[in-house]
Amino acid sequence: MKAHAAIEAIAFDLDGTLIDSAAGVALALNTALTTAGLPGFELATVRSWIGDGPDSLILRALEASRLRDTDLPSLASMLRKVFDTTTLQDPGAQGAAYAGIADLLGDLSDTRPLVVVTNKPSPLARAVLEAAGLLNHFAAVHGADTPVQRKPSPLLIQQAAAGLGVTTDALLMVGDGPADLQAAHAAGCRAAWVSWGYGPAPARADVWRLDAPRELIARLQSPEPATGRTPIH
């Protein structure tokens, strides 16, 4: 069995991992829908749609609205503009960092570089991170600014590793959803799943499970057995 490379850098997902942003995302979505004369959705429903970026979120909302005889691409484009404007006008309303996250990032950033890898577009991600007081902990923010970059594609993780000058197998991806774990596997890096987020628990034994932010430090300090990498579903 091949031994793992040492973890030299850590990539974090944003929504549901660093920041509890479900209420803020719901606010931006429902504001956009209201502008178009469409009904909004409850927080629990919106939370279940988070993870694939605003374009996919808006598409799910439109599909759930069961619209007929509508130019959906044009409507989706208009909704996206309102969604972005709402987010950028008050990024602090997008949510606060989970308890313990700021302290975790402060400790980790003293030992290795940290980046954000998110399906939220980069300008929105930076604004939300800055409003939450977390942006200064990160060497870079890699958002999905084009559809092909969205996780589960490995492109953003590969971009993050290249920007830091490390190999992908020396990077740890920390996230809460299937797209995070699938992107990590596709990029050839290890993954950790946080239980406080929005996604379901993975079945794979080779994914670290974190039930509190401080557990990540304990896992990083524990020696890992040599093991083969298996697919993450």
> What is the structure's pLDDT at 2?
52
- In whole angstroms, give the CA distance from residue 187 to residue 167: 10
Active site residue 13: yes
Nearest to 4 by CA among 213, 217, 202, 190: 190
pLDDT tens digit sequence for 63-105: 999 887 678 889 999 999 999 999 999 999 999 999 999 999 9
SS (H, E, C) 78-112: HHHHHHHHHHHHCHHHHCEECCCHHHHHHHHCCCC
Question: 190 forms bridges with which residues in the sheet?
Answer: 172
CATH number attached to the domain at 22-94: 1.10.150
Report phi then psi at 141, rounded to 5.
Answer: -125, 120
- In whole angstroms, give the CA distance from residue 121 to residue 152: 15
pLDDT, mean over the chain: 92
> What is the structure's pLDDT at 1?
38
> What is the structure's pLDDT at 148?
96
CATH number attached to the domain at 9-20+97-221: 3.40.50.1000
Q: Which stretches of the chain drop beneath a pLDDT of 50?
A: 1, 225-233
Helix, coil or strand: residue 46: helix
- The ranges assigned to domains in the chain are 9-20+97-221, 22-94
- Please, is 39 exposed, middle or buried when counting C-beta atoms within 10 Å of its C-beta (0-12, 13-18, 19+)? exposed
Q: How many H-runs (helices) and E-runs (strands) does the chain carry?
A: 9, 8
- Could you report how far apart the first and last alpha carbons of the chain are, in Å? 21
Nearest to 53 by CA among 134, 96, 133, 117: 117
> What is the structure's pLDDT at 72?
86
